Amino acid sequence: MTKLFSNGCSFLVSRPTDDVHSFSSEFLAKSYNLNLFNIAMGGRGNDRISFTTKLWFYQNGFKDTFAVIGWTSSYRMDYVTNDEWKKGRIPNMDLTWRTWKISENLKFIKSCPGWDIEQTACMRLLNHVLDLQNFFVLNKIPYVMFNSLPAIWNKKISDFQTTYEQIDKKRYFKPQSSQLDFIQENNLIVSKHDPHPSLDGHKKWANQLKEFIDVNNLRTI
């Protein structure tokens, strides 16, 4: 194995303005002596993560790569743009993306009869997770997943419980928690005004991830 691929939101990128010059998947790549290919983008959602992950592997092949996926909030709704917004951020990909947030569009949501915000978020996350899980299994790609931001798992509803049970928990690090929970509980945020991980927050999360990966032998199929 020679490559580590990662995708996610701002929790999987550096933040030089906050003196955070590395992040968890980069620490993992260095610890395993792998070349890092990171296409995470701050502010974007899980639609982009799922689509661009599959596209990257179609472009680059399935062999010799370990995938690290940090899921973000299901309340983020991605859409493809025609204005070339931040075009070129991801090599060899033509599509550009923007995102709208549920919390900023409540008037529109209330105009849609019966829209259950939480149940829709849960459904979308489950769909994204299982979609990528099946893609990785089909193409024999070793991987690990985790929640960068808190997940919505509404297991009181049998449809969701049945679907949640299909997630491979051996490859999902702390599905009931998130990196945001961890750094807030341990005061590992950039500042009280910015809940992104500090450099130490990334290091300590990466150390836990590595232990989980090694104990479960996740770099193999």
pTM: 0.96
101 in helix, strand or coil? Answer: strand
Q: What is the pLDDT of residues 77-112, one digit of tens each?
A: 999 999 999 999 899 999 999 999 999 999 999 999
Q: Give pLDDT, residue 17.
A: 87
Q: Report pLDDT digits (tens) over 150-203.
A: 999 988 999 999 999 999 999 999 999 999 999 999 999 999 889 999 999 999
For 92-111, letters b (16+ CB in 10 Å) and e give: ebeebbebeebeeeeeeeee
- Domain ranges in the chain are 3-215
HSE of 196, CA atoms in CB hemisphere, 13 A: 20
Q: Which fold has domain 3-215?
A: Rossmann fold (3.40.50)
Tokens of 172: 């999902």
For residues 168 and 95, what is the distance between their CA atoms, to the nearest angstrom?
A: 30
